Amino acid sequence: MRLPKPVARPVLTAAVAVTAAGSLLLAPHSATADRRAPVREGSAPAHGAAGAPAAAARTAPVTDLAADDRGYPREQVLTADPENPADKSLKLGLVPYHAIAPKLNALQRLGDRVSVEVAGRSAGGHRLYLVTVTAPESARRAREQERMRELIENDPGAAAKDRAVRTAYKTPVFFNSNIHGDEWEGTDAALRLIERLATARDAGTKDLLAHSRLYFDITANPDGRIAGTRENAGGFDLNRDFVTASQPEVRAMRQIEIDKQPAVMLDLHGYVNGTLIEPTTPPHGENYEYDLFLKNTYANALGMEAAVNGLGHTPDKDGVEPAQIPFRDQQEGWDDWPPVFTPQYAAFHGTVAAHTVEIPLTVNGASYDSLPAAELRRRSAVNVDVAGAAMRATLDFVRTHRASLIADQIEVFRRGSAGAAQVPVSARTVPGVPGIGPEDVYTTVFPRAYVVPAGGAQRSATAAARLVDHLIADDVRVTRATRDFRLAGRTYPKGSYVVDLHQPKRGLANALLADGRDISDKVSTMYDISGWSLGRLWGATVERVPGGSLAGVPRTAVRSAAPVGHVAAHGDLRLRLDTPQEIAALNSLLRDGVAVRRSADGSALVPSSARARAVSLARAYDVVFEATKAAGGTPLHAVRVAAAVTPGELFALREMNFDVVPVSTAILDAGFDWSAADVLFVSSGLDHAALAPSARTALDAFLRTHGLVGRGAVGAALNTDAGLLAVRPVEGDGDANGVVRVVNSGGPVTAGAPDHSFVYAPVWFTAPGPGVRVEQSYAPGDPLVSGHWRPSADGTGGPAAAAGRPSVVSGPHVVLFGTEPLFRDHPKGEFSQVGRALLTVS
């Protein structure tokens, strides 16, 4: 289930060329989609590791699962995994991960309806299985299906008139299971359903499979399934990762959404009693075509509700409450505002009925450890029944409504391509859905385009290239200007990127790039984050173009961003430290013993003797080493970071190529060797007062001579308890989150930083004492740009109280952040502030 407050990029190969200006230009090989032969067992599709630790700069090509020109079935023999008696599924009487491959081999042998592909690998290296169930298809028929799928997205006007689309196109349906590893039962329900579909001979099943392709992501999180954890092996909640796709499992799911283009999908979770079936309460995602989404999602929810209640489970007999539909049965608190969740992200790829389904009986957490195995197995059996009923009801819905589902998917893409207005929901526009009111109406005004400018108007060419590659990986269409142009009264240089919002997936493009909205006054609470703008948080300059014509803009479509990495041919070098890639390149230089100095503006000065090494790093990270005549500066040294942080922060630190060792209260109490660290970064899991006396003494001794970087309330508390920087931290509303305006004061930590940041339970600082420097402050007035930030019940802790207050402060060997610059891989443009801080205080 969702919880209110849960707390890689691939290597680019490149060639080197010398420009007319004498710089070394690093040109990557083609990054077009890999349309190679089908995946064979033992290998995995080459999904780009957009968040892999410090390996390279940008998004690599991913396997296009739709590009396979074979027919169906596509059978293969999967090698078995070693038996693992520690698999947490076993205690529940469920299928352990090591038994899935043999099970899929057996299912393929049942006939000609079941196919298995390996869609990728998890963070822990486990295979991600995609099963397709459909009536057999010749290679020619499969190619025709692909032609129609592409027509629906690329030319929806023609698709709406195409008789073959209406009569012969197979409705794609996607079932996603076990994205939270300790919510197991969707996997077992899916395997049972596949077995029934493989062998059933009734007319209904034959009709369904003749007119549908059913896709099953058997376990989206095998690492968590085995370990009994919500997160994957990287410590990430995968159902919060779809905006950034930092994890390989999410990139695999993203590619399934793009390549299979499902009209309907279920994401199977647990545990809410009675079974919770979306659609949701407000606020609703403002960027998708909610009238079409609500119409189909509510209708399918009714069918699932009837099927689940029809199983006969009752509160008295087995502890199961009647199913619930939040849109109908709740006021707020279970929203579909952010596209970080699987179904909400799917809506942008043409899924017009997408649901989170929360099965009822808890078997994880404390229940797993405390309940008898027999009770856990009884509960799991009920949950498998409930998940199976929801899936079967969805297939009935697809059989009955397949024509209108595809018509509505076509309409989603048509509106985007035509730049048509959204249709607000109402009793008239969505008949048959009760209770629609003004509180459900969320629409946006789409701009005509976004421009990511080149040249001097661009804050960071490296950040811009990374953002463009990320958009392309999300199937957003991007073009590049072939010469200078004017648009809406402004002139942009050749090489600028243009994101035309007249495109099929305009909703996703706008959701990623727009500022978002302050929705603090709309509802009292939000389920998860409420602001995430990559246009503001990734460190690239992105211009919103509200209107105008693109007819005169000379441009060409691109499949990847142009390379920006280069090294000046002569003299000493300057490396700006504005992106994670630049920090990673710097750390590599420092580990190699290069004598790098820090300039007053926070950039790195690299001697000409390291040019060859700079060329290699510019290639690996797509960064720029400029020529400089600057002298002096402060010597920099490689730092070893002891980190008491969240998994997302640990991920970000490693992405920036820091040498990191995790610590916590327990680790320090066990006797930590502080000689292994140069600086301590604290945001979570370390309580100074709770330390054993010997551990506290050792920590205090370390902090007297070494650096501290603290983030949030925990980092500020450690600073106070250790008697370091003389400031008073003030905690804002703990539920607040979003994109905020900030004012940077310059200096080595925030010089040249973006004027926006991210907060999650914000903190600010007052009463600065001697030696305290204000590095950054919340903007005056209302600093919140987008998100949800209200004062607490007593009137304190709101954005007005934070306005103008310091958000980042520093002093001798200490930097404290009240913002959250490494949050879940979202604010890429803020990462370097932490990197600079760690290098500054050591």
Residues known to be catalytic:
358
Cα 631 off chain centre by: 42
Of 69, 58, 11, 10, give the one whose Cα is nearest residue 35.
Answer: 69
Q: Residue for token digits 């029934």?
A: 196
What is the CB-side half-sphere exposure of residue 772 using CA atoms within 13 A?
19
* Dihedral Cα 34, 36, 41, 43, nearest 10 deg: -40
Q: What is the rounded CA–CA span in Å between residue 120 and residue 42?
A: 11
* Dihedral Cα 307, 310, 312, 315, nearest 10 deg: 70
Neighbour-count burial of 163, counting CB atoms closer than 10 A to its CB (0-12 exposed, 13-18 middle, 19+ buried): exposed
What is the CB-side half-sphere exposure of residue 420 using CA atoms within 13 A?
17
Q: What is the rounded CA–CA span in Å between residue 250 and residue 345?
A: 11
Is 699 in a helix, a strand, or coil?
helix
Residue 285 CB neighbours (<10 A): 23
**Tokens found for residue 767:** 């009463």
Helix intervals (H) in 540-627: 580-591, 611-621
Which residue type sits at 765? F
Of 259, 329, 333, 331, give the one whose Cα is nearest residue 298.
Answer: 329
Q: List, in order, residues 6 or more apart from 196 with CB less than 8 Å away.
A: none
Which residue type sits at 143? R
Long-range contacts of 196-205 (CB under 8 A, 24+ apart): 197/113, 197/114, 197/133, 198/107, 198/110, 198/111, 198/113, 198/114, 198/133, 199/110, 199/111, 204/399
